[in-house]
Amino acid sequence: MRISTFWYCVKQGVRNICRNIWFSLASIATITACIFLFCMFFSIMVNIQHVVRLAETTVGITVFFDEDLNVGQIQAIGSEIARRPEVDRMEFTSEDDAWEIMKEGYFEGAEDLAEGFEEDNPLAGSSSYQIFLNDISKQSQFVAYLNGLNGVRKVNYSNSAAAGLTSFNTVIGLLSVVIIGVLLAVSVFLISNTINVTAAFRKNENQIMRYIGATNGMIRAPFVVEGMIIGLLGAVIPLCVMFFLYHQAVGYLQDRFQILSGIFQFLPLETIFPYMAAAAMLLGLGIGFFASFFTIRKHLRV
């Protein structure tokens, strides 16, 4: 396509929008609402995932082994565990290291009390591995695997925090999919209606184009441009709103619910905005493109 033809199609697309401005505005408003909700859920989900990830890096699974196993046998089991795909990293703590850690914690300032255990490690047979997973949702499955291993005496893990966050994330995800799905359907319907009205306005023009020898692509292009501009505007508006609203919302939540600041660490807007903007733009352009592309098909019959 020539550059002049491309600009001609863009110009015609803009003209189409101006021709039935109210329909176009209604479509833009619906897509704006849809994409605004998308951005909101996107921010919430990304922040929850961030917290879950933090939990994953701080909450580990501790595995203790049968007391009659020597260090070599324990490390052999350790290498077998390390081969599992869900394992992110592992740290080995020997019985001596465990005692040193305990001494520092319990006998701080009264080291002489610990000297009584000098020759007799009370934590003998407590060598362990601390295991961190790359996906905390697989924790229970992994714990079951560990319990099934020969030589494993005990597995310590914390289930409640991770499970709570994961299920909250799933609920938010499902809710957002449903709401965004409904809004997407409404947006597609409204764009489709707008394109139908424009096509009726341009019936004469399209007919002349066909007689002159314009290809279907050339007849379709202004309508697709129209749909994509509507979609793009419907994405840019909520992105601008989100840009200003995110800081305010995070500030408000941290002030109002100070207890959250200990648990939640909100991601800075700069980190999530590029991804959110790209996803919103693609969504807006995609809705506009597909709704107009398929609506105009029936007007192309020669």
Partner 1 sequence: MIEISNVTKEYVEGNKALRNVSITIEDGEFVFIMGRNGSGKTTIFKLLMKEEELTSGRIVVNDMNLGKMPRSYVPKYRRRLGVVFQDFRLLKDLTVYENVAFAQRVVGASNRRIRESVPAMLQMVGLSSKYKMYPHQLSGGEQQRVAIARALINRPEVLLADEPTGNLDSHNAMEIMKLLEEINGMGTTVIVVTHSHEIVEKMHKRVIYMERGCVVGDETAFDPAEEEEDMTEGGEFYED
Interface with partner 1 by CB under 8 A: which residues? Answer: 1-2, 4-5, 8, 204-205, 207-216, 218, 302
Locate 298 and state its tokens: 């029936």
Q: Is the CB of 41 or the CB of 201 nearer to partner 1?
A: 201
Q: Is the CB of 7 or the CB of 275 nearer to partner 1?
A: 7
Q: Which contiguous run of DSSP H or E holds residue 106?
A: helix 95-106
Residue 216 Cβ vs partner 1, minimum distance, rounded to whole Å = 8
Q: Which contiguous run of DSSP H or E holds residue 8?
A: helix 3-19
Q: Is the CB of 218 or the CB of 249 nearer to partner 1?
A: 218
Residue 1 Cβ vs partner 1, minimum distance, rounded to whole Å = 7
Residue 62 is classified by DSSP as E
Query: Is 246 within 8 Å of 43 (Cβ atoms)?
Result: yes
Query: Is 289 within 8 Å of 232 (Cβ atoms)?
Result: no
Q: Is the CB of 256 or the CB of 298 nearer to partner 1?
A: 298
Q: Is the CB of 105 or the CB of 213 nearer to partner 1?
A: 213
Residue 204 Cβ vs partner 1, minimum distance, rounded to whole Å = 7
Residue 24 Cβ vs partner 1, minimum distance, rounded to whole Å = 18
Interior angle at CA 154, CA 153 and CA 159, nearest 5: 160
Q: Please tell me whether residue 108 adopts helix, strand or coil conformation.
A: coil
Report how far residue 39's alpha carbon sits from residue 273's, in angstroms, rounded to the nearest whole number: 9
Half-sphere CA count of 59, side-chain side, radius 13 A: 18
Residue 195 Cβ vs partner 1, minimum distance, rounded to whole Å = 19
